Structure 1
Amino acid sequence: MPGMSALPATHHWQPALGRDGVVEDVDDIRQAIAIILRTPQGSDPLRPDFGSRVWLYLDYPIDRARPHVVRETVEAIRRWEPRVTVTRVLVALDEAARLTITAFFKLASGVEVSMEVRPR
C-alpha cells in the first residue's frame, strides 16, 4: 500500500523501545523479557497480574535478595514469555552496586541465549 512502511518478515516483532524501528526474533524476545522484569506486578491497571515481583527485593542485601529474585524472574518469564524456557538465572551487583539479572534461556530452536536486565 502506498505510504505504508513494510512490515517485518517475521511473526515475532514489536516497536523498539527508546529508538526508531522494530525489534525482531531474539531481540523481540529480549525486549519482551526486559519489559516483564521491569514492570512491577500490579502496576498495569488493564493487566494487574502482568510483570514481576522482582522490585520487592531491590533493597534487600544481595545474599538475601538473590534466591527471591531468581524465583521471581523464573516465574515471571515462564508465565509471560512462552517462547522460551529459562535454564539459569544469575543475580549480582554491577560496578555501581545496582542489581543485575542475567537470564539464560532456550529458544524453541534449541539455541541458548542470555541477556542482562537491570530492574528499575
Structure 2
Amino acid sequence: MYQVGIAESISRILETPIGTRVMRPEFGSRLHELIDKRMDEKWKLDFVRFTAEAIDKWEKRVKLTDVELRKLEDGKVYYTLHFDNGEEIEREFIGVA
C-alpha cells in the first residue's frame, strides 16, 4: 500500500478547508478562517490551535509538540512545526493582513 509522506500529508491537511471534501467534509483545518485577518495575539493563538487540532486529528504517525511562529513578511507567516521525534517541518501561511 502506498503511504503518503508525513510532510505531504500535513500540507494536505492544513491547506484543505473543513467542509470542502465531498466524501469527508470534516477533513482539513480551520486555517483558512484566518486569511485577511489582522495578525494580533488572538490570531496567533488561533493559528497555533487550528494547526494543532488538525494535525492531532488527522496525522496519527507523529505527535506535534510545538508550533513556532518565526516571522511575518509580505503577507506571509513563516512557521516551524516541531514533533516529539525531534523532526521539524518549516512551512509558510499566505494571506495575513
- TM-score band, normalised by the shorter chain? 0.7 to 0.9
CA–CA separation in structure 1 for the residues paired with 2:21 and 2:73: 31
| Aligned Cα root-mean-square deviation (Å) | 1.9
Deviation at 1:79, TM superposition (A): 0.2
Task: Provide the TM-score with structure 2 as the length reference.
Answer: 0.82
Alignment partner for residue 28 of structure 2, among 51, 75, 89? 51
Query: What number of residue pairs does the alignment pair up?
Result: 93
Per the alignment, in what secondary structure is the counterpart of residue 87 of structure 2? strand
CA–CA separation in structure 2 for the residues paired with 1:96 and 1:116: 17
Indicate the residue corresponding to 1:81 in structure 2: 59
Q: Structure 2 regions of 5+ residues with no counterpart?
A: none
CA–CA separation in structure 2 for the residues paired with 1:94 and 1:12: 36
Bigger Rg, structure 1 or 2: 1
- Runs (4+) of structure 1 moved beyond 2 Å? 11-14, 91-97, 116-120
Higher relative contact order (CA 8 A, sep 6+): 2
CA contact (8 A) 1:36 1:77 kept: yes
CA contact (8 A) 1:55 1:119 kept: no
Distance change in 2, residues 1:96/1:45 (3 Å)? same
Indicate the residue corresponding to 1:13 in structure 2: 3
The sequence identity of aligned pairs, in percent, is: 33
Task: Provide the TM-score with structure 1 as the length reference.
Answer: 0.68
Paired amino acid for 1:57: L
